[in-house]
A = this chain, B = another copy of it.
Amino acid sequence: MLLDRLAELVPELNQAFLETMYMVSISLAVAIMGGLPLGILLFVTDRGLFLENPVVKSAAGFVVNMVRSVPFIILLVALLPFTRWLTGTTIGPTAASVSLSIAAIPFFARIVESSLREIDRGVIEAAISVGASPWMIIKDVLLPDARPGIIHGITITTISLVGYSAMAGIVGGGGIGDLAIRFGYYRYDNTIMITTVVILICLVQLIQFLGDRIARLTDKR
């Protein structure tokens, strides 16, 4: 009976899973594309670094903190016009991805900044001493050396996004987490709730496993 129930759910779970993957991938991609440069900016403009610039540093820090301060749901509403302009719709996974992405950028930026801080200053000095441009130092010294830390940060961000994507339900985003909430929370359907939670656990374990694996492979220390 339980199996019947589950069999019946398969298409729905399937779709929800795809929606989750869709939202998480988009937001992760945007978070990386936006958060990485922003995190680097936060780091290199810091005191004592090669692009020291208190004004830029404070401005970037302020923007990052501002986005991080606003509760997700408010951010989501505030972003609706932008979402509409960008995706042509304000509901569904695509629309949900917009706010997820915007929320993830500053989070990831902070994590990148934190990883970069762990780099040995001596190595940066060595790069400065060969006359490398800031861009080269970033590309060929900071990023490679912080890579294991950044990959850990990506893992943390991805898993946070999986969690956050459950909130996509507010705008009808769908996904596994939303399914769990819609059925498990609102409809007291334990079968779906447990199934979805198990799927989420597996997904997160997989993400963690891959993240650890890649971090280990790229860790040349």
Question: Which A residues fall within an 8 A CB radius of B?
Answer: 61-62, 65-66, 68-74, 77, 107, 110-111, 113-115, 117-118, 121, 148-149, 152-153, 155-156, 159-160, 162-163, 166-167, 177, 180-181, 184-185, 193, 197, 200-201, 203-205, 208, 221
Contacts and interface: CB of A to CB of B under 8 A. Distances in A.
A196 to B, nearest CB: 8
Copies in the complex: 2
A68 B121 contact: no
A177 B76 CA distance: 13
Contacts of A62: 205
Nearest to A162: B69
A151 to B, nearest CB: 10
Nearest to A152: B114
Nearest to A103: B163
Contacts of A107: 156, 160
A163 B152 CA distance: 22
Contacts of A69: 159, 162-163, 197, 200-201, 203-205
A185 B171 CA distance: 13
A69 B205 CA distance: 8
A120 B11 CA distance: 49
Given A184-B77, A204-B65, A208-B61, A156 B71 contact: no
Nearest to A146: B118
Given A68-B163, A74-B177, 6 more contacts: A61-B208, A65-B204, A69-B201, A74-B185, A114-B156, A118-B149
Contacts of A162: 69
A148 to B, nearest CB: 7
Given A62-B205, A156-B110, A204-B68, A77 B185 contact: yes
